[in-house]
Amino acid sequence: MFSKTTYTERRAALRQLVGHGLILIFGNNDSPVNYPANAYKFRQDSSFLYFFGQKRDGLVGVIDADSGRELLVGDEIDIDDIVWYGSVKSVGDMAAEVGVAETAPMGRLQTLVDEAVKGGRTVHFLPPYRFDIQIQLFDLLRIHPSEQREAASKELIHAVVKLRSKKSAEEIEELERASAIGHRMHTAAMRLCRPGVTEQYIGGGLDGIASSYGCIVSFPSIVTMHGEILHGYPSPRPLEAGRLMLCDAGAETNDNYCSDHTRTTPVSGKFDTRQREIYDIVCDCHDLALSVARPGVKWWDVHMDVCRLMTDRLKALGLMKGDTEAAVAAGAHALFLPHGLGHMMGMDVHDMEGLGQTYVGYDDEVRPSSQFGTASLRFARRLEEGFVVTDEPGIYFIPDLIDLWRTKGVNKEFLNFDAIETYKDFGGIRIEDDVLITADGCRFLGKERIPYRADEVEDYVAAHRDASPLIY
């Protein structure tokens, strides 16, 4: 937790931005795995954490934007809970820690909402993403779950996005800590990467590191030889000599800030000629983004600059052809890069995406595209100092997508399908880092940078490959 002042200032800023009505910030509840007493590890809602700081389940934060009244709503635990899980702070003590003067049991929440509605006041809530909260909202406001996302308060969404987008010094410190754990995870994966080790073994090791140094992984770890599958989760298959291992993984700190990095490592320890050619393109695209990202620059433009560079370099390899500007405008590059250059980072690995990608990554100036590939650009608006974004270009050879485009003749004037066909066994390469936008540019997060240039990767593997006996 941060200081009491941090939370009181955040709520005051939220009240000012919203301006009127009753604001409800729902915390999460326990989520059962297979029966009520066997729950997944608890993770509090990020916006609740941002404004109310507490990690206990079954809480709702209430802010009266008109009067300034604040309440922490929740029931006290009973003796059965204490027997099994130990004693915890009272709701009153938790409220006091974050500067909230008033508490109420959960049964009182309906009365607070009814009073606001009767008085003709707006009840603000964020789009719910858990079914139990949807049911709670239905009980409180009689809004059907299918209508709640649309009924969610746009004023509240915009206010939360505005406040959470720019990271404070204490938030940056937590993000640095998450990146440090990410460094341990990814260098461990590089040390373990060799023929015969299973994807599952490495993935499990990464999850263990995240849990040991922090709270949890920030998302399910991706470890795969099939890097062309964007979310290729670890399987029991052993790594094979001559292949590439793509590892996309991150950690979440005990204070719930995230990291997200990707590295691609040659299983044999050295890139072959073809792998090195593609890897160097991705690396140069990654570095291009770093060189142009600064306050005032649209991330949309950074993405397109990367796409132009990638197209030029793939043309030099004989995989693409024609005019670069025309090819990028037509989306021909998306055969190789079917996702966006990056997304915002913070307490969520795709920060605030539950509020709606359009509100987080776009604005009145920059609107989403419906074009394949570009439609997956999660963040596109102008950068501001204090933003944290991922820089994650990639090149992938997806056999099914290649076959589909070739059969339909999609962008055939820009693609050399005969040459591309010879890469269908290649897999994919991605390099990803978390980047803080500074006053005059940007910088990596984390005190130590995970090796990412081709020579650095090969040298690190050669010097640090784990030779200890393992059981797969």
Q: Where are the domains of the chain?
A: 4-165, 169-464
Closest CA to 216 of 180, 189, 256: 256
Quickly name the fold that domain 4-165 has.
Creatine Amidinohydrolase; Chain A, domain 1 (3.40.350)
Rounded distance, CA 61 to CA 422, Å?
A: 57
The DSSP code for 239 is P
Rounded distance, CA 232 to CA 221, Å?
A: 9
Q: pTM for the complete prediction? A: 0.94
* Domains 4-165 and 169-464 equal at CATH topology level: no
Please enumerate in sequence order all residues whose Cβ is within 8 A of that of 376, keeping only pairs 6 or more positions apart, or say none: 338, 339, 340
Quickly name the fold that domain 169-464 has.
Creatine Amidinohydrolase (3.90.230)
Q: What does each of the 472 residues of the chain score in pLDDT, given as a tens digit?
A: 899 999 999 999 999 999 999 999 999 999 999 998 899 999 999 999 999 999 999 999 999 999 999 999 999 988 888 888 888 899 999 999 999 999 999 999 999 999 999 999 999 999 999 999 999 999 999 999 999 999 999 999 999 999 999 999 999 999 999 999 999 999 999 999 999 999 999 999 999 999 999 889 999 999 999 999 999 999 999 999 999 999 999 999 999 999 999 999 999 999 999 999 999 999 999 999 999 999 999 999 999 999 999 999 999 999 999 999 999 999 999 999 999 999 999 999 999 999 999 999 999 999 999 999 999 999 999 999 999 999 999 999 999 999 999 999 999 999 999 999 999 999 999 999 999 999 999 999 999 999 999 999 999 999 998 766 565 5
Q: How far is CA 146 from CA 26, 128, 131, 152, in A?
A: 18, 11, 11, 11
